[in-house]
């Protein structure tokens, strides 16, 4: 099947600065499909880069910009914080001044795994707030700001929220993360109902275990292999490119009659949800 309808479109992808990630391949594959790309990162200092990024001479969003430009597409790299409504207003202004429009919004920025993975009774309030603010409020603020632009432009568009099967499984010791992603699911479906009249599609992609930096706390040895064999029927972790493929489809002409859906891309971990 040939994917069409993305040539010359403008896409914004949040959280795209990591070398081993979901955001980077989404940005690159959208560019490969014909989009000009605006993408954001947090502006983390180089001393916080993992060792493989340091060894590769990685430069966060600026390295991703090089990849996009190598595909003969325009790239605008912006340090931004999805939790900050004012920063998102600046991001809207930058996008419109640099590229003139927006057609696709991919809400990918997410809070890192860490001290949130505890029982509710042991949860620090600030840890809870950071996860909710980043994953749910950030998606809301981006969708509100860029949704207004999509409505004003009057030619439709696509919003894709990168969620997680965690928002469907709701496992123990994931309360903040699960609540944030379940909230993203509700936001996705409600906004799809609101935006359909403007020909704007709103969907969520729910990855399972993806081999990215986010899983580095697990390691890649025996513990990793046991986790995969115990949980993933297809017997391997997914890749960022496989999530990007679903995003590309949802934003294309071929996905033009899909809205309000929560797609699990997880190697079979969840069935029937």
d(CA 148, CA 126) in angstroms, rounded, equals: 31
Give the single-character DSSP code of 14: S
On the CB side of 192, how many CA atoms lie within 13 Å of its CA? Answer: 19
User: Which ranges of 123-271 does DSSP label H, i.e. alpha helix?
Assistant: 125-132, 138-153, 166-169, 175-195, 222-231, 240-251
Which of 33, 37, 17 has the alpha carbon at shortest distance from 80?
Answer: 17
Burial class (CB in 10 A: 0-12, 13-18, 19+), 74: middle
CB 41 within 8 A of CB 77: yes
Give the single-character DSSP code of 271: -
Using DSSP bridges, classify how beta strands 104-107 and 10-13 pair: parallel, antiparallel or unpaired.
parallel
d(CA 43, CA 236) in angstroms, rounded, equals: 32
Q: How many helices (H) and strands (E) does the chain have?
A: 10, 7
Q: Which residues pair with 170 in a beta bridge?
A: none
Phi, psi (deg, nearest 5) at residue 162? -85, 105
Residues acting as catalytic residues: 177
d(CA 261, CA 196) in angstroms, rounded, equals: 13
- Helix, strand, coil fractions of the chain, as percent rounded to 5: 50, 15, 35
């Amino acid at each position: 099947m040939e994917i069409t309808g993305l040539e010359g479109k403008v896409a914004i992808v949040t959280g795209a600065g990591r070398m081993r990630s979901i955001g980077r391949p989404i940005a690159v594959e959208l560019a490969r499909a014909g989009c000009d790309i605006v993408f954001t990162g947090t502006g983390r200092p180089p001393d916080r880069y993992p060792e493989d990024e340091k060894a590769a001479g990685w430069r966060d969003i600026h390295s991703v910009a090089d990849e996009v430009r190598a595909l003969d597409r325009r790239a605008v790299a912006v340090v931004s914080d999805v939790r900050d409504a004012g920063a998102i207003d600046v991001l809207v202004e930058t996008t419109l001044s640099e590229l003139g429009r927006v057609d696709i919004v991919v809400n990918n920025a997410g809070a890192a795994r860490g001290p949130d993975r505890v029982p509710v009774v042991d949860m620090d309030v600030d840890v809870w707030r950071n996860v909710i603010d980043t994953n749910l409020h950030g998606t809301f603020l981006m969708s509100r700001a860029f949704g207004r632009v999509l409505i004003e432009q009057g030619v439709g568009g696509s919003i894709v929220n990168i969620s997680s099967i965690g928002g469907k499984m709701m496992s123990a010791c994931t309360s903040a993360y699960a609540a944030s992603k379940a909230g993203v699911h509700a936001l996705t479906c409600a906004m799809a109902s609101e935006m359909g009249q403007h020909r704007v599609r709103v969907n969520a992609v729910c990855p399972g275990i993806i081999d990215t930096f986010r899983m580095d706390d697990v390691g890649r040895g025996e513990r990793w292999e046991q986790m995969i064999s115990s949980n993933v029927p297809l017997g391997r972790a997914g890749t960022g490119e496989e999530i990007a493929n679903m995003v590309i489809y949802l934003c294309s002409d071929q996905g033009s009659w899909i809205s309000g859906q929560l797609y699990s891309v997880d190697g079979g971990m969840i069935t029937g949800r």
